[in-house]
């Protein structure tokens, strides 16, 4: 039984350092890099994966979820829905004819995993219901590893997780035995972000350019959890991605039984859904990102030419490093 080391590459700094460690420690030919494409990625991340393949002489296997079957089943369910009951809030369970027509007119596979997932669910994910990670990343990576195990391999899943990243990860273990021939290895669990960057730089690897453009993390563009400063950066540097999100908000809302869903906000029970959509759609969130103190006041500092999203503002102070290197 051979051992395969699977590294899930995101295009960010942590998974790159993890990949490099695995390549240095494991026998040649036993390391497999995978990338779970959410369909909500920045084009610079795709280009960066190509760069890594070339620089490291490897192939990064692209995995992409497909929700065609789920969308077909949901379409049939909506079309045939004749339920008579009501939910706990007293609303009719059955899709109204108007909502049926609206949803069925757009609920077709687009080929984009993120959009298709949201159309299938009739909503965007949220902090409390973060089904995007599960459906677009975790399930794809786990499915790939299960296939390897079924083919008779022992699998070690290498994860680029650091304890100082977030509260949730503060107790992450360095090694775990999951069972069934699967183990987990988190070699950089005790590292800082600076150590991670230094490790890759020492091996001659460039970071994803997004890290140099104010993006603390590389992942979806944007992520449903992106903070105010990141959203402001994205609005300034990559407005086309927010225009795409605005188009998705319209499509996903059409697939929602209640007729509304926004990218960066949970449901607000009791509030009129049209008002919620107007207050919390992506354009409103962008305006909010330009404010300070809970959104009531515009940030005057950012309006000056000396500061703000237009300048180099990497969260990790990499701008200086990049400038020195190119000098
Ligand atoms: S990066 Fe954000 S939006 Fe993308 S899958 Fe992860 S949590 Fe969801």
pLDDT at 327 over 70: no
Q: Measure 31 CA to ligand 1 centroid, in angstroms.
A: 25
Alpha-carbon distance 143 to 158, whole Å? 15
Alpha-carbon distance 4 to 101, whole Å? 49
pLDDT at 326 over 70: no
Q: Measure 239 CA to ligand 1 centroid, in angstroms.
A: 19
The structural domain count of the chain equals 3
Nearest CA to ligand 1 atom 5: 133
Mean pLDDT (whole number) for 33-59? 97
Q: Is the CB of 130 under 6 A from ligand 1?
A: yes
At 197, is the secondary structure helix, strand, or coil?
helix
Q: 82 and 59, same structural domain?
A: no
Q: Is the CB of 136 under 6 A from ligand 1?
A: yes
pLDDT at 149 over 90: yes
Q: 237 and 200, same structural domain?
A: no
Alpha-carbon distance 280 to 233, whole Å? 18
Q: Hey, how many other C-beta atoms are within 10 angstroms of the C-beta on 81?
A: 14
Which tens digit of pLDDT belongs to each residue from 103-139? 999 999 999 999 999 999 999 998 889 899 999 999 9
Q: 142 and 30, same structural domain?
A: yes
Q: 169 and 33, same structural domain?
A: yes
Q: Which residue has the higher pLDDT, 145 or 273?
A: 145
Mean pLDDT (whole number) for 248-262? 93
Alpha-carbon distance 168 to 165, whole Å? 8
The domain boundary, picked from 160, 175, 207, lies at 207
Q: 58 and 91, same structural domain?
A: no
Nearest CA to ligand 1 atom 3: 223
Q: Measure 108 CA to ligand 1 centroid, in angstroms.
A: 22
Which tens digit of pLDDT belongs to each residue from 288-307? 888 876 655 545 444 433 33
% pLDDT > 90, the chain: 65
Maximum distance among all alpha carbons in the chain?
Answer: 70
Q: Measure 77 CA to ligand 1 centroid, in angstroms.
A: 28
Quote the mean pLDDT of the chain: 86
Q: Is residue 213 part of a domain?
A: no
For residue 93, give its domain range: 68-108
Alpha-carbon distance 212 to 132, whole Å? 26
At 16, is the secondary structure helix, strand, or coil?
helix
Q: Is residue 191 part of a domain?
A: yes
Q: Hey, how many other C-beta atoms are within 10 angstroms of the C-beta on 98?
A: 9
Please tell me the predicted confidence (pLDDT) of residue 48: 97
pLDDT at 321 over 50: no
Nearest CA to ligand 1 atom 7: 133
Q: 255 and 198, same structural domain?
A: no
Ligand 1 atom closest to 125 (CA): 8
Q: 51 and 13, same structural domain?
A: yes
At 123, is the secondary structure helix, strand, or coil?
coil
Which tens digit of pLDDT belongs to each residue from 190-218? 999 999 999 999 999 999 999 888 777 78
Please check whether residue 98 is in contact with residue 119, taking contact to mean a CB–CB distance below 8 angstroms.
no
Q: Contacts for 255-260 with beta carbons within 8 Å, 24 or more apart?
A: 255/103, 255/106, 255/107, 255/118, 255/119, 255/120, 255/122, 256/103, 256/122, 256/123, 257/95, 257/99, 257/103, 257/122, 258/99, 259/99, 259/102
At 312, is the secondary structure helix, strand, or coil?
coil
> Residues in the chain, how many?
327
Q: Is the CB of 220 under 6 A from ligand 1?
A: yes
Q: 174 and 319, same structural domain?
A: no
């Amino acid at each position: 039984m051979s051992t395969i080391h699977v590294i899930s590459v995101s295009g960010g700094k942590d998974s790159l350092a993890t990949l490099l460690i695995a390549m240095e420690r494991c026998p040649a030919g036993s390391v497999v890099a995978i990338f779970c494409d959410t369909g909500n990625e920045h084009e610079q991340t795709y280009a960066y994966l190509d760069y890594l393949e070339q620089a490291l002489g490897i192939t990064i296997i692209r995995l992409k979820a497909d929700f065609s079957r789920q969308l077909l089943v949901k379409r049939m369910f909506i079309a045939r829905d004749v339920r008579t009951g009501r939910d706990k809030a007293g609303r009719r369970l059955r899709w109204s004819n108007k909502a049926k027509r609206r949803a069925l007119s757009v609920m077709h596979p687009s080929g984009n995993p993120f959009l298709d997932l949201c159309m299938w669910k009739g909503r965007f994910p949220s902090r409390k219901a973060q089904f995007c990670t599960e459906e677009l990343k975790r399930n794809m990576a786990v499915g790939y590893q299960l296939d390897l195990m079924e083919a008779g391999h022992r699998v070690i899943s290498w994860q680029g997780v650091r304890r100082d990243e977030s509260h949730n990860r503060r107790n992450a273990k360095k090694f775990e035995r999951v069972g069934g021939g699967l183990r987990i290895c988190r070699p950089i669990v005790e590292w800082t972000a600076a150590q991670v960057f230094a490790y890759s730089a020492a091996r001659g690897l460039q970071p994803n350019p997004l890290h140099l453009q104010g993006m603390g993390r590389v992942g979806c563009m944007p992520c449903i959890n992106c903070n105010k400063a990141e959203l402001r950066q994205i609005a300034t540097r990559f407005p086309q991605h927010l225009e795409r999100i605005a188009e998705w908000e319209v499509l996903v809302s059409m697939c929602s039984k209640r007729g509304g869903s926004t990218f960066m906000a949970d449901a607000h029970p009791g509030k009129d859904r049209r008002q919620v959509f107007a207050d919390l759609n992506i354009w409103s969130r962008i305006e909010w990102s330009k404010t300070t103190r809970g959104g009531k006041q515009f940030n005057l500092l950012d309006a000056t030419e000396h500061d703000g999203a237009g300048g180099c503002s990497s969260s990790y102070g990499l701008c200086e490093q990049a400038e020195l290197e190119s000098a």
